[in-house]
Amino acid sequence: MKIKNNLILALDVMSESEAIEICDSIKEYLDTIKIGYPLALAEGLEIIKKLKDKFGFKVICDFKVADIDATNSKICDETFKAGADAIICHGFVGSDSVQACLDMAEKHGKELFLLTEMSHPGAKMFLQKDAEAIAQMGVDMEIRNFIAPATRLDRLSTIRDIVGPEAFIISPGVGKQGGDGKKALEYSNAIIVGRSIYESENPKIACEELIKSLN
């Protein structure tokens, strides 16, 4: 997945009008957005197609799918039918549950991102100790896309070593969570930024300044 300026906007706002306003202000800088449960639950899955049709964005649905295989399959099917270009799933649920997501992505000709380790402090309590095994599972399953944290560069580097140079890694945690975007891009292919852009007084200027800092 080629991503303009190596930057993805995490659009975790709560209304269609706010989403459109923000997207309109940053559309010249980005071509990929990430939509999570806040916007999808507030406005329904229809918001995916609305934003794609209006702005031409690629949309990654950050639903962190983490259920049994049969349920995962249904979640992914509905998400891809709604127009998503990619979906994010957790790896800790095991290979059968992940395979269900992968199968549905392949059926629709879309992408799957495997979450190895999250960016917030609490991820160190339980998820971090299994992150390397999750990454290796993804490699064994021939998954191409991964998520690893920009907030812990040592962990990001380790995940990169496991998945190899050809894998595509996107990294959350830049900005409000303290991650350094430029340093993260030494290991990842793109960074994910949310609040630093959409909570700013001028998202366009925030986006411009962030991109300058990456170069």
Q: What is the CATH number of the domain that holds 95?
A: 3.20.20.70
Q: Which of 49-58, 131-140, 172-181, 185-194 has the lowest mean pLDDT?
A: 172-181
Q: What tens digit of pLDDT does each residue of 174-197 get? A: 988 889 999 999 999 999 999 999
Would you say residue 120 has pLDDT above 90?
yes
Q: Look at strands 58-65 and 32-36 and give their pairing.
A: parallel
Residue 1, pLDDT above cutoff 90: no
Residue 177: domain span: 4-214
Rounded distance between C-alpha atoms, residue 48 and residue 40, angstroms:
8
Section 148-161 average pLDDT: 97
Q: What is the mean pLDDT of the chain?
A: 97
CB 208 within 8 A of CB 5: no
Active site residues: 64
Contact 11/34 with Cβ under 8 angstroms?
yes
Distances (CA, A) of 135 to 1, 90, 117, 130: 19, 11, 9, 9
Q: How many domains does the chain have?
A: 1
Is residue 56 pLDDT above 90, yes or no? yes
Predicted local confidence at residue 66, as pLDDT: 98
Which residues make beta-bridge pairs with 146? 114, 169
pLDDT reported for residue 215: 87
